[in-house]
Amino acid sequence: MFENTTDAYLSTVARALDGTIYEDPPILFGDTKPGYDATNREYGWDWPSVSFTMVGTKRLANVRFTLETAIRENIPGDFVETGVWRGGASIFARAVLFAHEQTDRRVVLCDSFDGLPAPDEEKYPHDKGSDFHTYDALAVSVDVVKRNFEKFNLLDDQVVFIEGLFKDTMKDVTSEKIAVLRLDGDMYESTIDPLRHLFPKVSNNGWVIVDDYHVVPAAKAAVHDYLDEIGYEDPDFQEIDGVGVYFRKNTRKIPNKSLWKRVTSRT
Ligand SMILES: C[S@@+](CC[C@H](N)C(=O)[O-])C[C@H]1O[C@@H](n2cnc3c(N)ncnc32)[C@H](O)[C@@H]1O
């Protein structure tokens, strides 16, 4: 049984979004086996043919956990997802805000709404060989995503769509503060561009989720390169499901450059 009506609503929305209610089969490619597989869906190992998210049950629960923590602890800011596909994880974030009567936080969806870019191997050697741009199934238009929100009656002015490649659009994210940043771009370029623009806006104690940390080595490399770039010490990554990780931003782990300059200029 559910704990209360909030839990009943959110648990049911989650099950509708990840397809565990309807058990839709996966999209077939590579060595994907036909037919619905409960374990694959729990861990987000398949690409559902109908359901609105491919992150699976555990990573969807992590969206709820991080947002509810931010709400409970008054950590200011929006939920921003870079890489939304059919919109499921962001729809769930909007449902969490609705369930907790949060009217001053927005859900910001950033995507080309046309699939991934071809790798820029010269600029980002880690993306060499990436072929996600060849998968038509990853290109979902903004109209389809808006319709998916409407099906849950969750499309309103707290939902913002930023359309285009991250390299062009990250500057258009107007959120002053971010409580939860969810990175799901599957490439080095698609992870480091959002980090460079958006990590500075993540509130102290806000969350950063890296959806594809353990399955896309280029995304993992981008996270570590960015954190090294800003001198962030000891990020305490927590495991979600063996695929994704998340960590809390702690501003004390970022060296204070102006202080550092003052100290070194005295010596
Ligand atoms: C794995 S899917 C996201 C899955 C989604 N979070 C879910 O809930 O199912 C990756 C998405 O990232 C988008 N994407 C990847 N790199 C991008 C880039 N550089 N600019 C814009 N969109 C990008 C793709 O269009 C695609 O929709």
Calpha distance 90→72 (Å, rounded): 19
| 96, part of any domain | yes
Tens of pLDDT along the chain (267 residues) come to 999 999 999 999 999 999 999 999 999 988 889 999 999 999 999 999 999 999 999 999 999 999 999 999 999 999 999 999 999 999 999 999 999 999 999 999 999 999 999 999 999 999 999 999 999 999 999 999 999 999 999 999 999 999 999 999 999 999 999 999 999 999 999 999 999 999 999 999 999 999 999 999 999 999 999 999 999 988 999 999 999 999 999 999 998 765 555 555 554
Return d(Cα 175, Cα 173) in angstroms, integer. Answer: 6
Burial 77-94 (b: 16+ CB within 10 A, else e): bbbbbbbbbbbbbbbbbb
Considering the domain boundaries, does residue 44 fall inside one? Answer: no
| CATH classification of the domain holding 249 | 3.40.50.150
Answer yes or no: is 28 within a domain: no
Give the structural domain span for 218.
56-265
Q: How many structural domains is the chain composed of? A: 1
Position 39 in a domain: no
- What is the longest distance spanned by two Cα atoms in the chain? 67
Measured from the CB, is residue 83 less than 6 Å from ligand 1? yes
Nearest CA to ligand 1 atom 24: 115
3-state DSSP assignment of residue 216: coil
Q: Evaluate whether residue 9 is within a structural domain.
A: no
Report whether residue 78 contacts ligand 1, using a CB cutoff of 6 Å. Answer: no
Extract the tokens encoding 179. 């409580």
Q: What is the pTM of this model?
A: 0.96
Three-class secondary structure assignment of 194-210 = HHHHHHHHEEEEEEEEE
- The distance from CA 10 to its chain's CA centroid, rounded to whole angstroms, is 18
